[in-house]
Amino acid sequence: MAGIFYGWIGVYYGELAQMVDTWAYHYESLKSYEILLKDPSNFFPSLFHNPYEQGFTRFLSSNDSWWNDLKGNFLLMILSFFNLFSFGHYYINVIFYSFLSFFGPVAIYRVMRDVFPAQRLAVLIASFLIPSFIYWTSGIHKEGLIFIGLALAVYHIYFGLKESRFPLYRVLLILFGMLLVLALRNFLIITLVPALIAWILAQKTRYKPLLVFSGLYLFFVVLFFTARYIHPALDFPDAVVVKRGEFLALHGTSSIVLPQLEPTIKSFIINTPQAFTLAAIRPYPADVHHLLSLAAAIEINLLLLLFVLFLLLRKNLTFWTPFLWFGVFLAVSILFMIGYTVNNLGAIVRYRSIILPFLFVPIIALIDWQRISALLLGDIRTKNNV
């Protein structure tokens, strides 16, 4: 239903809300479908065709980059196979796509249910029904497949660590999940790999998880700014600045002006508050220009309210496992990457949707809902007595 609604929005509200991509992918997939039927021997190798002189070096670039083309070509290849069975019908493809993308939240639900066995209903609701998450991962776009990749890696690492064994099938599925992320949004690998390393190390060493994560992330931050002295191609700050410039060059109805960012530690520190606010809190009510931005503004304020309730009325935390710290550090690092590079609010809402379960399943599961209920009922009884 969410995927069908996504497609409907793309038809009737697409230009205003910048939702035309899903149908553009569909029409392009019809062309790829014809190639698959007429010349299947060239269909598969076309994914690896690289027409650029720079070869495979422009890893984070949005122009003249095989890596940038890969995400669209990969999705078109999947949709072309769907077209074999749907005969090119978009809304039948939605059923196939949503069937696949549903495995992502199922995997995260099973992990979170194991972490919070006594909070099954809260985990169920938060794993599946965060509005922007279900909307963006159900429609025919990259988010659903990206989340499958994240969920596959997380699910098999979690249960592999719990069982203290990693059979071949788990290793292969972890690698497949990471390859999905690499193919569809390659810059997420830069945030995913450090989080996974810190999680595994914290689990294996059994030191205080926060100290392990903080120490490793300090190392990775230093490496981020100094890797260019090892090799010029590893100039990550400059890659972020270039990516930011490419987004700034795209003018949309929800684009905003960003301050200048330079590839220096000082400039990144100065831009940190703005980057985090942009990625984690906006759109503000003043940013609302259409139905989707209104929905996004309402959602982010409700999620912030849940976070406040968590801070004020959370249960006594007897533990905070390495896995939960993994979710926090992964989500926050992705938010910073989005905030430093993206200036379009619609794109920000879409990009951050895939990390919301890692943050808000634990938050919702750890809020003391019984205490809130008792407070509300007590307040009602007091008013009735008066």
- Using the predicted structure, report yes or no on whether residue 265 has a pLDDT greater than 70: yes
pLDDT digits (tens, 9 = 90+) for 320-358: 889 999 999 999 999 999 999 988 888 899 999 999 999
How far is residue 63 from each of residues 50, 60, 101, measured CA to CA in Å?
13, 9, 28
Q: What percent of the chain has pLDDT over 90?
A: 49
**β-pair partners for 344:** 255
Query: What's the whole-number average pLDDT of the chain?
Result: 87
Q: Which residue has the higher pLDDT, 47 or 196?
A: 196
**pLDDT at position 230, please?**
87
Query: Nearest-CA neighbor of 123 among 352, 324, 262?
Result: 324
**pLDDT at position 193, please?**
93
pLDDT digits (tens, 9 = 90+) for 75-133: 989 999 999 999 999 999 999 999 999 999 999 999 999 999 988 998 999 999 999 99
Helices and strands, number each (H, E), in the chain = 20, 0
- List of residues 6+ apart from 324 with CB closer than 8 A: 115, 362
Q: How confident is the model at residue 42 (pLDDT cuts 50, 70, 90)?
A: confident
Q: What is the mean pLDDT of residues 236-247?
A: 85
Q: What is the mean pLDDT of residues 160-170?
A: 92
**pLDDT at position 381, please?**
57
Supply φ then ψ for residue 89, to 5 degrees: -95, 120
Q: How confident is the model at residue 234 (pLDDT cuts 50, 70, 90)?
A: confident
- Using the predicted structure, report yes or no on whether residue 72 has a pLDDT greater than 90: no
Supply φ then ψ for residue 314, to 5 degrees: -85, 160
**Could you give the angle at which helices 103-115 and 322-341 cross, rounded to 10 degrees?**
140
pTM here is 0.89
Q: How confident is the model at residue 220 (pLDDT cuts 50, 70, 90)?
A: very high
- Using the predicted structure, report yes or no on whether residue 213 has a pLDDT greater than 60: yes
**pLDDT at position 187, please?**
84
Token code pair at residue 143? 């988010």
Range with the poorest average pLDDT among 79-88, 146-155, 372-381: 372-381
**pLDDT at position 385, please?**
58
Range with the poorest average pLDDT among 11-15, 183-187, 193-197: 11-15
**pLDDT at position 305, please?**
93
DSSP secondary structure, 99-126, as one string: HHHTHHHHHHHHHHHHH-TT-HHHHHHH
Residues 184, 145 contacting (CB under 8 angstroms): yes
Residue 111: helix, strand or coil by DSSP?
helix
**pLDDT at position 247, please?**
80
334/177 Cα distance (integer angstroms): 17
Give the 3-state secondary structure of 249-272: CCCCCCECCCCCCCCCHHHHHHHH
Q: What percent of the chain has pLDDT over 70?
A: 91
**pLDDT at position 233, please?**
75
Range with the poorest average pLDDT among 209-213, 331-335, 370-374: 370-374
Domain residue extents for the chain: 102-385
- Using the predicted structure, report yes or no on whether residue 17 has a pLDDT greater than 60: no
- Using the predicted structure, report yes or no on whether residue 64 has a pLDDT greater than 90: no
